[in-house]
Structure 1
Amino acid sequence: MPLGSNTKFYETPNHPFQGERISEEADLLGRYGLKNKEELWRAQSELRGYRREARILLGDAQGDAEEAELAGEEFLTRLKRYGILADEDGLDDVLSLDVTDVLERRFQTVAYRKGLANTPQQARQFIGHGHITIDGARVTTPSYKVPVAEEDRIAFDENSPLADDLHPERAEGTQE
């Protein structure tokens, strides 16, 4: 796809001025340190895609959950690899996912939850500036979806000033 194309990876809300939805979105933006509503809408669209895929698999199997699970094994494995689904979850559980399940797997949120930053916004800044690495590799995309296997390999870059435990911007009580 050429750069600058007009393809969007999200859908905007059908009713732009609903007070309840706007306040829920504002809460999620603050809680997960998102830059703008577009990031939230992308996560919501991603979740819609997961649900659509699960419904199609269930529909093709005509309600036979075991047959649908076999057909959607690759799909379920991918969701489990990214930690969106737990290991014991099945296709039915995809339909009950919430947008927070998707947002929790963002690099920015995982780094914040690991205690590498005081706030999700600070985690976003550290990631953007290249202070936090995954397995020694710099990833500067806060929206990167972290696979469960890589979660334990998130740390400060050894060349970053933040690698020093005494750095004033380090989160309280973060000792590696």
Structure 2
Amino acid sequence: MPLGSNTKLYETPNHPFQGERIAAEGDLVGRYGLKNKEELWRAESELRDYRREARRLLGQVATDELVRQETEQFLARLIRLGILDEGDGLDNVLGLDVTDVLERRLQTVAYRKGLANTTAQARQFIVHGHVTVDGARVTRPSYTVEVAEEDSLAFDENSPLTDELHPERAEGQQ
């Protein structure tokens, strides 16, 4: 995005004061260790874009070779990101939930892999530069981890957290 661009990457809710929605958002923010609801709204907007693209592809004539190729590329991208499973189709994209997108964040994947005790601690380790993906330091907790990169998550070799006896590391962490 060019400098000075004022475009938001997410949409806020249409009805700002709905108790049930606010409670559900608060639960997701807490469960996934998000900094604020803006991060949740970004994930919801990303999911909305996936669904919009799937509806567009479903609405076009499937016999057209270009549409078939576009569909394959779109599904391959979602499979590579780990949002869909092998063999899933466009109908499965419409059934996705925001948690499917949140589960692929670096922060969540690092927590699930055992690099941190909590999602908040995983976020701190990432922001402070202790976590690498494929040997490259990544400091964005919202980074989407591809399935192929998942096994390459580790602590940075220069990080004090590489020491097994570091007090912030839990028993059995990698």
Both structures adopt the same fold (TM-score exceeding 0.5): yes
Structure 2 counterpart of 1:112: 111
Give the C-alpha shift of residue 24 in structure 1: 0.4
**Structure 1 residue identity aligned to 2:11:** E
Q: How does 1:89-128 map to 2 (within 5 A)?
A: 89-128=88-127
Structure 2 counterpart of 1:60: 60
Please tell me whether the aligned partners of residues 132 and 138 of structure 1 are also in contact (alpha carbons under 8 angstroms).
yes
Please tell me whether the aligned partners of residues 68 and 91 of structure 1 are also in contact (alpha carbons under 8 angstroms).
no
Structure 2 counterpart of 1:74: 73
Q: How does 1:19-168 map to 2 (within 5 A)?
A: 19-61=19-61, 70-168=69-167
Please tell me whether the aligned partners of residues 69 and 90 of structure 1 are also in contact (alpha carbons under 8 angstroms).
no
Matched, 1:18 2:23: no
Give the C-alpha shift of residue 70 in structure 1: 4.6
**Aligned residues: percent identity?**
76
Distance 1:2 1:173 in 2: 44
**Structure 2 residue identity aligned to 1:11:** E
Give the aligned CA root-mean-square deviation in angstroms.
1.7
Segments of 5+ residues of structure 2 without an aligned counterpart are none
Structure 2 counterpart of 1:8: 8
Please tell me whether the aligned partners of residues 58 and 68 of structure 1 are also in contact (alpha carbons under 8 angstroms).
no
Q: Secondary structure at the match of 1:72?
A: helix
Give the C-alpha shift of residue 61 in structure 1: 2.5
Superposed CA deviations along residues 50-79 of structure 1, whole A, max 9, x for unmatched, are: 0000001000127x8xx9655411110000
Superposed CA deviations along residues 85-106 of structure 1, whole A, max 9, x for unmatched, are: 0012111100000000000000
Please tell me whether the aligned partners of residues 82 and 105 of structure 1 are also in contact (alpha carbons under 8 angstroms).
yes
Distance 2:169 2:144 in 1: 23
Give the C-alpha shift of residue 48 in structure 1: 0.4
TM-score norm. by structure 1 comes to 0.93
Please tell me whether the aligned partners of residues 69 and 91 of structure 1 are also in contact (alpha carbons under 8 angstroms).
no
Segments of 5+ residues of structure 1 without an aligned counterpart are none
Distance 1:60 1:5 in 2: 33
Distance 1:116 1:68 in 2: 41
TM-score norm. by structure 2 comes to 0.94
Q: Which runs of 4+ in 1 moved over 4 A?
A: 67-70
Superposed CA deviations along residues 22-62 of structure 1, whole A, max 9, x for unmatched, are: 00000000110100111000000000000000001000127
